[in-house]
């Protein structure tokens, strides 16, 4: 691994990369097996979905706080806090699920305890990403900062591929479906030791604020959002500018676009595991269901990375074009997924929808940013972070409720959100150059 900068050696960059990677991989690994665990424990699907919603809610609530605290308490300390939160959550959740699967705990009690231990990930796991980014930003020169930040941010996206891919390998004879959680807890411990051993204590050359990372989900966005913009000496009237409001006509269309597309994507991710169990008749064989879910989620994550790392730079898509094309592909993919009756059809539909959402997410974020001048970048970043995060609090559970009523009601609503976004966004989304 080559040395990326004069300030951060390769071995330290590897540690920073691992801190980001393990959080995303572990969460998406859990996402791939939890529907199967719910089926084995005979837990209603909606309660399984709410376990993730609870964690996402805590992540959204605590992420801005930890982003601010990294400057006060030290970046290394906040990274360690995030990794410890991840490690303890995985270990305790794994033990709780093992006890339930082994018959030592009632099913309802198991999931209550599981949700409580998930709080550790949602509440403390969000501390690590902004601390990592602030650590890099405060130790790199401007000409090398973009490359270094892109590298550590890409680990989140890579984790969404690795997690579902390797989770089935850790379904072990004695611990069963709880195995992936226990293994990732062990991996978290190794990362924590590397962090303590290889990373020096904070002596930054200058202050830098980390970014608020979106809640890591399979086939989700890999982008991070700024909590606050850096002070710019050329923007002398920034402090005196009126605060940006949600009703501002410049950003309102983009926020609505983010709302429509975000709800559709969150519902898709919340429902897909249960669709696989039902369409492939795998509820009596949940171990096999977890493996199939991992395959589908991995395909979706690959498609997301293809769009964000390949198509957008290659085709040089504008924000408006990325949103509209992404929403159209999302609608088509959701319809294919909703009517598919075999694994191949589900994989194709889910991957196509994920490809679309992989175009939509960066398009929405960049469109909102481009709609306002430099002095408002901090405010619009906070708005996009709120839109991205809030989608995973309620929508997955709503999607599961509608799916249990009738699958095509759920998928019709998801596709309807995307279709409406295309029709409405064609005229509503415009990029007028803001006045600086």
d(CA 48, CA 119): 15
pLDDT of amino acid 4 = 46
- Hey, what long-range contacts does 330-333 have (CB within 8 A, 24 or more apart)? 330/261, 330/264, 330/265, 330/356, 330/357, 330/360, 330/415, 330/418, 331/356, 331/415, 331/418, 331/419, 331/422, 332/356
Residues facing 224 on adjacent strands: 213
* Position with higher pLDDT, 222 vs 136: 136
The per-residue pLDDT for range 327-362, each reduced to its tens digit, is 999 999 999 999 999 999 999 999 999 999 989 988
Exposed/middle/buried for residue 121 (C-beta within 10 Å: 0-12, 13-18, 19+): buried
pLDDT in tens, 23-74: 888 888 888 898 999 899 888 888 888 887 888 888 888 877 787 776 677 7
Give percent of the chain with pLDDT exceeding 90: 34
**Backbone Cα Rg of the chain:** 21
Alpha helices in 74-208 (DSSP H): 75-101, 107-124, 128-137, 142-166, 179-198
Q: How wide is the angle at C-alpha 139 spanned by C-alphas 135 and 144, nearest 5°?
A: 110
Q: What is the pLDDT of residue 51?
A: 80
pLDDT for the residue numbered 82: 92
Residue 378 near residue 207, CB atoms below 8 Å = no
Predicted confidence (pLDDT) per residue in 222-253, tens digit: 444 444 444 444 444 444 456 777 777 888 89
Q: Is the pLDDT of residue 399 over 50?
A: yes
Distance CA 258, CA 217 (A): 17
Q: What is the mean pLDDT of residues 195-216?
A: 65
**Mean of all residue pLDDT scores within the chain:** 82
What pLDDT is stored for residue 380 in this prediction?
75
Q: What is the pLDDT of residue 431?
A: 59
The band of 274, judged by pLDDT with boundaries at 50, 70 and 90, is very high
Q: Residue written as tokens 């990794």?
A: 83
pLDDT tens-digit series, residues 151-180: 777 777 788 888 888 888 898 888 888 999
Residue 311 has pLDDT above 80, yes or no: yes
Running DSSP on this structure, what letter comes out for residue 372? S
Residue 282: is its pLDDT beyond 80?
yes
* Maximum average pLDDT range among 87-91, 216-220, 382-386: 87-91
Asked whether 412 and 268 are in contact (CB, 8 A), the reply is no
Mean pLDDT within 398-425: 94
**414: Cβ contacts below 8 Å, ≥ 6 apart:** 264, 267, 268, 334, 338, 399
Per-residue model confidence (pLDDT) at position 236: 44
Residue 66 has what pLDDT? Answer: 80
Q: 211 by DSSP, 3-state: which?
A: strand
Number of Cβ atoms within 10 Å of the Cβ of 342: 9
Please tell me the predicted confidence (pLDDT) of residue 319: 86
Rounded CA gap, 340 and 355, in Å?
Answer: 18
Query: What pLDDT is attached to residue 87?
Result: 95
Considering only residues 382 and 274, tell me which one the structure prediction assigns the higher pLDDT: 274
Residue 19: pLDDT above 80? yes
- Between 304 and 211, the more confident residue is 304
User: How much is the pTM?
Assistant: 0.81
pLDDT above 90: residue 198: no
Residue 419 banded pLDDT, cuts 50, 70, 90: very high
Residue 2, SS3 per DSSP:
coil
């Amino acid at each position: 691994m080559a040395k990326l900068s004069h300030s951060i050696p390769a071995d330290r960059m590897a540690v920073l990369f691992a801190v980001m990677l393990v959080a995303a991989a572990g969460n998406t690994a859990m996402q791939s097996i939890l529907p199967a665990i719910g089926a084995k424990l005979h837990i209603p699907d909606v309660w399984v979905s709410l376990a993730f919603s609870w964690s996402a809610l805590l992540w959204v609530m605590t992420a801005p706080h930890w982003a601010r605290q990294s400057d006060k308490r030290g970046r290394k300390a906040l990274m360690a806090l995030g990794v410890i939160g991840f490690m303890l959550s995985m270990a305790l959740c794994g033990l709780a699920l093992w006890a339930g699967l082994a018959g030592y705990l009632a099913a309802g009690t198991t999931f209550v305890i599981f949700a409580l231990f998930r709080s550790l990930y949602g509440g403390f796991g969000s501390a690590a990403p902004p601390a990592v980014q602030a650590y890099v930003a405060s130790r790199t020169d401007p000409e090398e900062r973009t490359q270094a930040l892109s590298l550590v941010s890409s680990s989140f996206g890579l984790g969404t591929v690795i997690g579902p891919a390797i989770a089935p390998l850790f379904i072990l004879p004695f611990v069963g479906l709880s195995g992936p959680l226990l293994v990732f807890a062990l991996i978290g411990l190794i990362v924590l030791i590397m962090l303590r051993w290889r990373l020096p204590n904070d002596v930054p050359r200058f202050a830098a604020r980390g970014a608020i990372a979106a809640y890591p989900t399979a086939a989700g966005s890999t982008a991070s959002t700024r909590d606050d913009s850096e002070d710019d000496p050329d923007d002398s009237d920034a402090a005196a500018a009126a605060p940006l409001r949600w009703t501002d006509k410049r950003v309102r269309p983009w926020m609505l676009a983010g709302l429509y597309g975000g709800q559709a994507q969150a519902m898709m991710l919340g429902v897909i595991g249960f669709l696989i169990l039902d369409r492939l008749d795998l509820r009596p064989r949940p171990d096999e269901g977890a493996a199939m879910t991992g395959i589908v989620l991995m395909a979706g994550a690959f498609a997301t990375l293809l769009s964000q790392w390949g198509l957008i730079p290659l085709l040089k898509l504008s924000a408006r074009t990325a949103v509209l094309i992404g929403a159209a592909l999302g609608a088509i993919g959701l319809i294919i997924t909703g009517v598919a009756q075999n694994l191949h059809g589900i994989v194709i539909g889910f991957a196509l929808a994920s490809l679309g959402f992989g175009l939509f997410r960066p398009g929405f974020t960049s469109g909102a940013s481009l709609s306002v001048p430099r002095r408002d970048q901090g405010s619009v970043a906070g708005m996009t972070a709120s839109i991205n995060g809030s989608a995973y609090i309620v929508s997955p559970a709503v999607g599961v409720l509608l799916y249990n009523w009738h699958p095509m009601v759920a998928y019709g609503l998801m596709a309807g959100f995307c279709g409406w976004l295309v029709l409405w966004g064609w005229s509503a989304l415009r990029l007028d150059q803001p006045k600086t």
